[in-house]
Structure 1
Amino acid sequence: MDAFILISFIIGGIIIALVVNIITQHNKVKRFAERLRRNFGQIERKEYDPEKAASYRGYYLNHLDDDGFYIDDITWNDAEGETLYNSINKCYSSCGDEYLYYTLRCIDTNPSKEKIDKYASQTDALIEDTELRVKLQLLFAKLGKTGKHSVFEYISLLSDVKKVPLILFYIVWLVYILIIGSFFINVTLGICLLIAWMIVCVFIYISHNKLVQNYITSFEYIVRTLIISEKAVAMKIPFYEEEYERLTELRKKLKGVKTSYLSFIKQSNRTGIADLASGMTAIINCFFLIDIFFFYKMLKYVIDNEDAYGEIFAILGKMESQISVANLKASLEDTCVPTFTDEKIIKGVDMIHPLVNNCVPNSFDNSKGMLITGSNASGKSTFLRSVLVNAILSESVYVACAKEFSFRSSELFSSMSLSDSLGTGESYYMAEINSINRIIKAKESGANVICFLDEVLRGTNTVERVAAATEILKYLTGENIITLAATHDIELTYLLEKDYDNHFFREEIRKDDDGKEDIYFSYKINDGRSDTRNALLLLKIKEYPSEIVENAQILSKGFVDTGKWQYDEG
């Protein structure tokens, strides 16, 4: 009777714990859904975190050898690509994380109108249908993330895993059955044998777990991906009909991987919406080696169908990444579907940078090349980055942060934010000429190119800089290339006025109520060349010693008047 009461209490406790867990999970999901509704249409700048990079670059790195044009590291860094990615990313699964990153760096230089229209209509539909969007987000949150590393890091190494005969696991379970049978002979002996065998299994588990732990985590994610693909198909969203058909075909290729396996594969590494079953499953696996058994059982299917899984991953990733694109579009007052023309042109109407707070919109229309001058901090570099970022977004996710944005689809290159390297011993100037040389080679390949240059050859002396920059910029013109360059060297605007259209940013000197001078920037681009300088005035405003400012002004005026530097040591 006492044993019956004890067992009843245990069963009752388990039932209560499960009920509480179900209610807790339901409330957690409900609060999460409300947060998704509330936060949609908001975007904030998030800086790059190097520690997280490995978790979302796997799919991109795994496809670098594929055909297509990829934004190289120099251009990506100039565009602050990592910050751009992290700021617009609203994904809750590794599929979405990795595919969004891949999409932003693998641009489409020959997009069809059908592809553009379909992508744009899908993101627009996600903006319009709040409840459908939230259901999709909840679904992908259940899929979750793999942690610090990409699933593709491990899949590529699966062929190196030493296989273990499955009969060994059957022997382990057979021993458990025999031990249970011993209870009918001698309970004490049975208990001792059970404890001893469980300890043996723990040691077996630990030894195998060290070898396959990371792979098991990936296999868990593979199974969850298949489950989510089935649930996504079951949602029957009309504008994803083609994707659903393909998911169904691909799932048949991976029919050897049963979704029921997920009940036994360890779930403690999930970073999405977890539940109480994770801990219980981990304990069961420790004693019965079930997750390791299913790992070896699924190993062959995954190796043989890696491409099929990769495509399922990509389709789901595209679907979730489109929610991030929809969020970007909803966060801005003006966005547009870019227009890709056959003409050599780049045009923007009220274009902004999506991550610059209160960004001043700028309009431009150029078919020749732009040479941009202006004083310090007037907006030259921000303008170049704005055009570059919008070109990347246009050729990757078919959205531009402008009322209108059109250009000839092109390969994108830049040389803007270089630095010297103590590790490689490469000087700033060497880094510059190597960077610009890759743009020259791209132009020579015959591909359509748009390039962005900021302060060409700033790492060398004035005379040789102006001479070399003139010839480089002149070379970077032609039928297949548009160059947008910013410079402080006014001489270039005269030397290259036949090759480039001149534009400039200006500032105004204003006085506050106390009569103190300050500089006001409009951040609006203008036609023509700059005729102002503000470097010395900025020194004065920042309260540098008057001796420095006044003597520098005398030196500067002397050079402008005579063309020679004259220094009076007295």
Structure 2
Amino acid sequence: MEYLILFGALLFIGLLVFAKGVWDQSRQRGYLRLKQKESFGKPSQRTYEDGETEGIPRYFEKHRDGFYLDDTTWNDLNLDMLFLRMNTAQSSAGQEYLYHMLRTPCFDRTELSKREEMIENLIREEEVRVQLQMLYLDAGRTGKYSLYDYLDFLDQLGERSSLPQIGMDLLLVPAAGIMALNPSLGIVAVVALLSVNIATYLKQRKVIDPYLTSFRYVFRCIRLAERLTAVKADFLEEEKEKLRDLLKRFQGLKRSASFGMRRPGTGGSPLDLVLDYLNMMFHFDIMGFNRMLKQVRAHAGQVDELLTVTGRLEALIAAAGFRQSLESWCVPEQDGEEGSAGEGILIQGLYHPMVTEPVKNDIAAGRGVLVTGSNASGKSTFLKAVAVNAILAQTVHTCCADRYRGGPVRVMTSMALRDDLAGKESYYIVEIRSLKRILDAAAQDGPKVLCFVDEVLRGTNTVERIAASTQILKSLNRPGVCCFAATHDIELTELLKEEYDNYHFEEEIEGGDIRFPYLLLPGKATTRNAIRLLSIMGYDDSIIQAAQRMAEQFVQSGRWEGEGAGSGPKERRKESMACRK
């Protein structure tokens, strides 16, 4: 009777522990679901560990087909920061596909329409979206390395066969038979064979353990696909059908995973302990790993397709969240649609998504645009805003504007360049290489090139800069190209007035301070602030006044004249000769 009471008490305690575990897990899931709802439509607050972002571009690097944003354009526009703001994806497949999507503008109207329909459904169907987000949360990430890194590592294993393991297991049969005739000899034979098996097992496990991470994530993606097909939502039917077809081809891989996925010593149950010893003696898990290796290699294309389908869906969830996070946005109009006409770009209420409290601007460009203005007046930010929105229109189908209309464009930039110290190239060489790649792209077939150039050829002298800049910008005024350029060289506004529309930004001087309204105005700039900024920063009045007189003389005469006795060109030559003597 006492034993029954003790057993009942232990059983009751066990049930309480089990019930508490279930309750805690349910509360945790409820908290996570609530978090998904509350965080949707807000910029990503995720923090990244050192090196965690290095593997994100791998999917893109494996799928660089057709046009994509090159490194110069991506870095000029600081699109890494925009990606991090947008990246609410909770699986590796999702965040890698989102990165790929941003770097690969889509020129297919049908695909863009499908993205729009999916984004609208994901915003409207909150319960379905949260269910999807929870599934992707369960799938998780691979950490510092991409799955594609791990799949590449598989090549280092070479060909693996299970014949040695099978042979050693078969030798145990006659060894066991010997025990019936000669027990002592039979026991020695069995122990010897098992000892060899255990020794080789430990060696083999060290080899295959690093590769199990890739297999586990593939298996998690397969499990994710199975669960996605069970989600009840009509707008997901196309994705679910693709996943069902893929799952049929992964049956062999799932069977192989039953033994090959376990790590020895990771389970705490008696059954796990028994399985660990059986694997050590008979190598079941190593043979399972070898089968999985063959299956993964044979189905590499299907694994890639699986990551594409699952990743694309979560990337569109992130795109939907990005749209909801914007104060104002619009769905881009394509040229040729009702209410639009002509080839060009029209943007109303344009702003940059990374600028807080932005000033909105309008632009309608049927040909090249030349923007002038003072330092810090907003020229570069305006160019970047147009470029970023042209990219967003063709990727996440959401623009930071009240209205956006334009056709397919290949966006290219030459803006935030630097000396290439590693390549031992000066700023000017880097700059002319950057401009040359735009000219080369303009000569190739494809959608219109929409290019952005900030301060053309700033790395050389004034005379040659203006001459070369004029001809380069003229060469970019051709069918199939639309160029936005910003410059301080006011001379270009006259030299290019037949090819480019002039716009400018102004500043306002209030007392001893300077203010920028950041409003785009038609025509060329008529004000300058470089000398005024010297005054505001406390430079000596004599420097300010002399510089101002020189500038005014140049504007009136079109040539530079020295300030003060002995400072003209002839006097400077005489002084130079005197110094040499």
Q: Aligned residue for 2:517?
A: 522
- 1:146 paired residue number: 142
Alignment of 1:8-157 (within 5 A): 20-43=20-43, 51-64=51-64, 66=65, 68-109=66-107, 111-112=108-109, 114-157=110-153
More deviation in 295-304 or 478-487? 295-304
Secondary structure of 1:509 counterpart: strand
Q: Does structure 1 retain, via aligned residues, the 8 Å contact 2:43–2:86? A: yes
Alignment counterpart, residue 542 of structure 1, candidates 521, 537, 542: 537
**Distance across 1 between alignment mates of 2:564 and 2:197:** 89
- The gaps in structure 1 that reach 5 residues or longer are 183-189, 269-274, 512-516
1:374 shift after superposition: 0.8
Once the two structures are superposed, residues 135-178 of structure 1 have per-residue CA deviations (whole angstroms, 9 ceiling, x without a partner) of 11110010000111111123234344234443655689999999
After TM superposition, list the pairs within 5 Å mapping 1:353-502 onto structure 2. Answer: 353-447=352-446, 448-502=448-502
Q: 1:56 to 1:569 in 2, by over 3 A?
A: farther
Quote the Cα distance in structure 2 between the aligned partners of 1:457 and 1:52. Answer: 37
- Provide the rounded CA distance (Å) in 2 between the counterparts of 1:208 and 1:7: 44
Equivalent residue letter for 2:433: N
Structure 1 residues 47 and 453: CA distance shift in structure 2, 3 A: farther
Q: Deviations over 1:162-198 (max 9, x none)?
A: 344436556899999999xx9xxxxxxx9xx99x989
Provide the C-alpha distance between the structure 2 equivalents of 1:160 and 1:263, rounded to a whole number of angstroms.
Answer: 22
Q: State TM-score, norm by structure 1.
A: 0.85
- Offset at residue 246 of structure 1 (A): 1.1
Aligned counterpart in structure 2 of residue 240 of structure 1, from 213, 222, 236: 236
Q: Using the TM superposition, give the Cα deviation of residue 48 of structure 1 relative to its aligned residue in structure 2, in angstroms.
A: 9.4
Answering whether residue 221 of structure 2 is matched by residue 225 of structure 1, we say: yes
Aligned residues of 2:87 and 2:318 also touching (Cα < 8 A)? yes
Deviation (angstroms), 1:360: 1.2
Q: Distance in 1 between matches of 2:444 and 2:534?
A: 45
Measure the CA separation in 2 of the matches of 1:454 and 1:48. Answer: 32
CA contact under 8 A between 2:417 and 2:427: conserved in structure 1? yes
Q: Assess, with a 3 A threshold, how the Cα gap between structure 1 residues 328 and 282 changes in structure 2: closer, same or farther.
A: farther
Runs of 5+ unmatched residues, structure 2: 180-186, 337-341, 567-581
- Describe how 1:141-220 pairs up with structure 2 within 5 A: 141-166=137-162, 201=198, 207-220=203-216
Q: CA deviation at 1:468?
A: 0.4
Summarize the Cα distance change of 1:519–1:418 in structure 2 as closer, same or farther, 3 Å threshold: same
Counterpart of 1:306? 300
Rg bigger for which structure?
Answer: 2
Alignment partner of 1:235: what SS? coil
Change over 3 Å in CA distance of 1:141–1:548 after alignment to 2: farther
Using the alignment, how far apart are the partners of 1:413 and 1:316 within structure 2?
A: 30
Q: Helix, strand or coil: the match of 1:53?
A: coil
Counterpart amino acid of 2:458?
Answer: R
- Structure 2 CA distance for partners of 1:54 and 1:174, relative to 1, 3 Å: farther
Please state whether the residue corresponding to 2:517 is helix, strand or coil.
strand
- Quick check: 2:44–2:87 contact (8 Å CA) kept in 1? no
Mark the CA change 1:262 to 1:524 in structure 2 (over 3 Å): closer, same or farther: farther
Contact 1:256 1:301 in 2 (8 A): yes
Letter in 2 for 1:400: C
Shift of residue 132, structure 1, vs aligned partner:
1.5
| Aligned partner letter, 1:539 | L
Matched residue of 1:532: which SS? coil
Q: Which amino acid aligns with 1:522?
A: P
Once the 2 structures are TM-superposed, how far is the Cα of residue 17 of structure 1 from its aligned partner?
Answer: 6.2
Give the C-alpha shift of residue 569 in structure 1. 7.8
- Answer whether contact 1:349 1:405 (CA < 8 A) is retained: yes
Task: Classify the secondary structure of the residue corresponding to 2:252.
Answer: coil
Corresponding position: 1:533 with 2:522:
no
- Structure-2-length-normalised TM-score: 0.83
How far, CA to CA, are the matches of 1:468 and 1:145 in structure 2?
Answer: 50
Matches of 1:125 and 1:276 in 2, distance apart? Answer: 42
Map of 1:297 onto structure 2: 291
Distance 2:405 2:228 in 1: 35
Residues 1:257 and 1:545: Cα distance change in structure 2 (over 3 Å): farther
Paired letter, 1:223? F
Distance 1:456 1:281, change over 3 A: farther
Residue 251 of structure 1 aligns with which residue?
A: 247
Change (3 A) 1:131 1:408: same
Partner of 2:572: none
User: Any residues of structure 2 matched to 1:274-285 within 5 Å, and which?
Assistant: none
Secondary structure in structure 1 of the residue aligned to 2:142 = coil
* 8 A contact 2:259–2:288 mirrored in 1: no
Amino acid at match of 2:333: T
Cα deviation for residue 354 of structure 1 reads: 1.2
- 8 Å contact kept, 1:47–1:86: no
Distance 1:222 1:550, change over 3 A: same
Q: Deviations over 1:225-274 (max 9, x none)?
A: 01100100110321111111111111112221117937862589xxxxxx
8 Å CA contact retained: 1:216, 1:292: no
Equivalent in the alignment of 1:327: 321
Contact map agreement 1:378 1:507 (CA 8 A) in 2: yes
Give me the whole-angstrom Cα distance separating, in 2, the residues matched to 1:299 and 1:9: 48
**Secondary structure of 1:347 counterpart:** strand
Is the 8 Å Cα contact of residues 371 and 484 (structure 1) preserved in structure 2?
Answer: yes
Tell me the distance in 1 between the aligned counterparts of 2:105 and 2:63. 13
Q: Distance in 1 between matches of 2:90 and 2:195?
A: 38
Given that residues 256 and 289 in structure 2 are in contact (C-alpha distance below 8 angstroms), is that contact kept between their aligned partners in structure 1?
no
Whole-angstrom distance in 2 between the partners of 1:543 and 1:5: 91
Distance 2:390 2:483 in 1: 13
Cα separation, 2, equivalents of 1:4 and 1:546: 101
TM-align CA RMSD = 3.8
* C-alpha distance in structure 2 between counterparts of 1:47 and 1:545, whole Å: 47
Alignment coverage as a number of residue pairs = 541
State the one-letter code of the partner of 1:104. Answer: L
CA distance in 1, matches of 2:465, 2:27: 65
Letter in 2 for 1:92: Q
Deviation of the 1:387 alpha carbon = 0.8
Matched with 2:504 is 504
8 A Cα contact 2:449 2:481, kept in partner: yes
Name the amino acid aligned to 1:479: P
**Is the alpha carbon distance of 1:532 and 1:166 closer, same or farther for their aligned partners in structure 2, counting shifts above 3 Å?**
same
CA distance in 2 between counterparts of 1:431 and 1:5 reads: 84
Identity level (%)? 35
Aligned residue for 1:148, secondary structure, equals coil
* Aligned residues of 2:260 and 2:286 also touching (Cα < 8 A): no
What's the secondary structure of 1:75's corresponding residue?
Answer: helix
Equivalent residues of 1:350, 1:362 under 8 A apart? yes
